[in-house]
Amino acid sequence: MTAKHVFITGGASGIGFGMAQGFAQAGHKITLSDINKEALDNAVSKLRSQFDVDVQGVELDVTNSEQLASAPSRVDAPVDILVNNAGIQFVSALEQFPEDKWRLIIDILLCGPAMLTKAFLPSMYECNFGRIINVGSIHSLVASPYKSAYVSAKHGLLGFSKTIALESAEHDVTINTLCPSYVKTPLVENQIMAQAQNHGITEEEVINTIMLKPMPKKAFIDLSELADTALFLCSPAAKNITAQAITIDGGWTAH
What are the catalytic residues?
Answer: 150
Task: Specify the DSSP class assigned to residue 132.
Answer: E
CA angle, 159 as apex, 156 and 164 as ends, to 5°? 125
E strands along 5-54, which residues? 5-8, 29-34
Nearest one of 194, 191, 198 to 14, comparing CA atoms? 191
Indicate the SS3 state at residue 9.
coil
Burial group, residue 240, by CB count within 10 angstroms (0-12, 13-18, 19+) = exposed
What's phi and psi for 146, nearest 5 deg?
75, 10
| 121 vs 79: CA distance, rounded Å | 9
Task: Specify the DSSP class assigned to residue 221.
Answer: B
CA angle, 112 as apex, 109 and 115 as ends, to 5°? 145
